[in-house]
Amino acid sequence: MNATRIIAIRHGETDWNLGARIQGHTDIALNGTGRRQALQMAAALADEPLHHIYSSDLQRALATAQALADANGAPLTIDARLRERCFGSYEGQRFADIEVSDPDAALRWRKRDPAFAPPSGESLQDMQARVAHAVDALARQHLGQQIAIVAHGGVLDTLYRLSTRQGLQAPRTWELANTSINRLLWTPDSGLALVGWGDTSHLQQTGLDELAG
């Protein structure tokens, strides 16, 4: 088959997720819930035929990917191109803080201005170009195979938009849940296509609390 199957996974929960803080490139670890979510996702995909796992180098994604590699046995490679969008000086703040300190910038951000970049940060259009290039390159290496990509909410949002041909400013109507399992198909002629999105049924499982530590 002249196609690559992709399972795209968002990292597990962090304390900054809970606190609605902007993470970006800041290297925040998984919290206890996030570690448990990673184990639950890994158990759900333990028998999935995976030829390779690719992960962002940020520890919240890498720890999630390592749980999958441990359960599945597929090799794991770090790829910094799969990082979250860089939010520069906004990282560590909440959106409400930006609305107070820089309302004009907050409005451009809320409207998803493709060219808007936070101070020392990255624009949506630049992030999309980065992610699209990385995923195209990885998928091209695995025609006829299935790979997993473990990354971040912004990366998964980009993949959803690319696979459904929605623009950067289209309102988001899809979920980006922690450790959700999302399935895509990539072909050389057509690029990405959506197969399934937002599967979190594995998070209903119990019994992994002790393992999560």
pTM score over 0.85: yes
List the catalytic residue out of 11, 25, 142, 152. 11
List the catalytic residue out of 13, 48, 51, 84. 84
208 pLDDT above the threshold of 80: no
| Known catalytic membership, residue 11 | yes
Give the pLDDT confidence score for residue 144 in this predicted structure.
Answer: 97
Mean pLDDT of 95-114: 94
| Known catalytic membership, residue 84 | yes
Residue pLDDT, tens place only, 11-55: 999 999 999 999 999 999 999 999 999 999 999 999 999 999 999
The three state secondary structure string of the chain is: CCCEEEEEEECCCEHHHHCCECCCCCCCCECHHHHHHHHHHHHHCCCCCCCEEEECCCHHHHHHHHHHHHHHCCCEEECHHHCCCCCHHHCCCEHHHHHHHCHHHHHHHHCCCCCCCCCCCCCHHHHHHHHHHHHHHHHHCCCCCEEEEEECHHHHHHHHHHHHCCCCCCCCCCCCCCCCEEEEEEECCCEEEEEEEEECHHHHCCCCHHHHC
Task: Identify the structural domains of the chain with CATH numbers, from first to last.
Answer: 4-205 (3.40.50.1240)
